[in-house]
């Protein structure tokens, strides 16, 4: 799946992140606990160098608890990275973040100097809500669809910690097509930029393999057909997604499937595992090498 949605302000946000990170003591990245790999910005890993990073797996109430632990162990293998799984209802846990920031720094920063933490995350991951809880007041605008925060802010949250907030952003080229589908499925991309039928088909294909019991229970099936399009048709028929003449509206059925995934009605689901994404990275590397080879061949052909 190719992502076509990349608002102009996100290009500016990329530059601001690079500039702010140079002045930050550490980075805080908000990830979606359902897609920890796909919601992780590759730019941050390249730019932060040796600076500590706290990766927060947000929306953990919607994710598979077993896989949350596996993802935390996997992410913390990287030097300087610590993780914290939480949901926005856990306000007491959120308020511990300032202490965690201090502990992440090599000296503990007990000298009273301000700690500057760059905070970032993809659209609709809950960053603005988290900031408002930390600040104890409404500072960052929140919303239930992506691209709400559009300007950088400096926010004091107590305990000598200042957050350098940046707009939620995606990167212009999501090379892993699986990540593109997962970002669309969880709501990081505006629904006007995706095909509900296509994304829901991808989600169902995964759920039938990883969480068949959830699909059966939610849609009241004794057995699941092997064909995913047929399954979407059965779900659409059950939910009254019918066109004139009785044909199933698969786009409307797709919207229902995605809505119930995002709300947690399908169950606590994680859409990727460390093993899956490791294999996908290998595949992306192969594709990248093939593209580079073709580009070089075309160049040689032109120059003769």
The span from the CA of 222 to the CA of 202, in Å, is 22
Structure tokens at 177: 């097509």
Q: Is 240 left (phi over 0), alpha (psi -120 to 50) or beta?
A: left
Buried b (16+ CB within 10 A) or exposed e, 61-73: ebbbeebbebbbe
Judge whether 250 and 230 are in contact, CB under 8 Å: no
Q: Which of 15-29, 73-87, 137-151, 235-249 has the lowest mean pLDDT?
A: 137-151
**In this model, does residue 145 exceed pLDDT 70?**
no
Q: What angle do CA 68, 70, 75 make, to 5 degrees?
A: 95
Name the residue ranges covered by the structural domains of the chain. Answer: 8-165, 195-263
Instruction: List the one residue out of 120, 111, 216, 211 whose CA is nearest residue 168.
Output: 120
Q: What is the pLDDT of residues 238-279, one digit of tens each?
A: 999 999 888 999 999 999 999 999 999 999 999 999 999 989
Q: For the chain, how far is it from start to end, CA to CA, in angstroms? A: 35
Mean pLDDT, range 267-294, rounded to an integer: 86
Q: What is the DSSP letter of 112?
A: -
Give, in words, the CATH class of 195-263: mainly alpha
Q: What CA dihedral angle connects 213, 215, 218 and 220, to 10 degrees?
A: -80
- Is residue 117 classed as helix, strand or coil in its secondary structure? strand
Q: Token pair 């593209």 is at which residue?
A: 291
Q: Which two tokens stand for residue 184?
A: 């669309």
CA atoms within 13 A on the CB side of 252: 12
Highest mean pLDDT among 105-109, 154-158, 288-292: 154-158
Stretch 182-188: mean pLDDT, rounded?
93
Mean pLDDT score of the chain, rounded to an integer?
85
Instruction: Give the fold, CATH level 3, of 8-165.
Output: Rossmann fold (3.40.50)
Q: Which residues pair with 242 in a beta bridge?
A: 248
More confident residue, 116 or 10: 116
Q: How confident is the model at residue 150 (pLDDT cuts 50, 70, 90)?
A: very low
- The pLDDT-based confidence of 13 (bands split at 50, 70, 90) is low
178 or 140: which carries more pLDDT confidence? 178
Percent of the chain at pLDDT exceeding 90: 49
């Amino acid at each position: 799946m190719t992502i076509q949605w990349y608002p102009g302000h996100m290009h500016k946000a990329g530059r601001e992140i690079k500039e702010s990170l140079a002045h930050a003591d550490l980075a805080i990245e908000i990830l979606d606990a359902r897609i920890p790999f796909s919601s992780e910005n590759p730019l941050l890993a390249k730019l932060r160098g040796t600076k500590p990073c706290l990766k927060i797996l947000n929306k953990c109430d919607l994710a598979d608890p077993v896989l949350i632990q596996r993802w935390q162990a996997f992410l913390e293998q990287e030097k300087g990275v610590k993780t914290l799984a939480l949901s926005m209802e856990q306000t007491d846990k959120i308020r511990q973040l300032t202490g965690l920031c201090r502990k992440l720094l090599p000296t503990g920063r007990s000298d009273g100097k301000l700690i500057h933490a760059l905070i970032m995350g993809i659209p609709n991951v809950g960053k603005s809500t988290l900031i408002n809880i930390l600040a104890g007041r409404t500072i960052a605008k929140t919303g239930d669809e992506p691209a709400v925060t559009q300007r950088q802010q400096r926010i004091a949250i107590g305990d000598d910690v200042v957050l350098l907030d940046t707009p939620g952003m995606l990167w212009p080229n999501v090379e892993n097509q699986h990540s593109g589908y997962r970002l669309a499925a969880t709501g990081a991309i505006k629904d006007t930029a995706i095909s509900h039928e296509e994304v829901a088909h991808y989600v169902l294909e995964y759920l039938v393999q990883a969480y068949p019991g959830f699909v059966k229970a939610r849609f009241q099936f004794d057995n699941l057909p092997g064909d995913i399009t047929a399954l979407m048709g059965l779900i659409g028929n059950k939910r009254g997604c019918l066109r004139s003449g009785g044909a199933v509206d698969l786009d409307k059925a797709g919207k229902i499937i995605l809505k119930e995934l995002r709300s947690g009605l399908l169950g606590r689901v994680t859409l990727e595992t460390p093993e899956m994404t490791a294999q996908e990275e290998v595949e992306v590397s192969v594709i990248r090498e093939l593209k580079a080879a073709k580009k070089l061949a075309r160049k040689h052909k032109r120059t003769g």
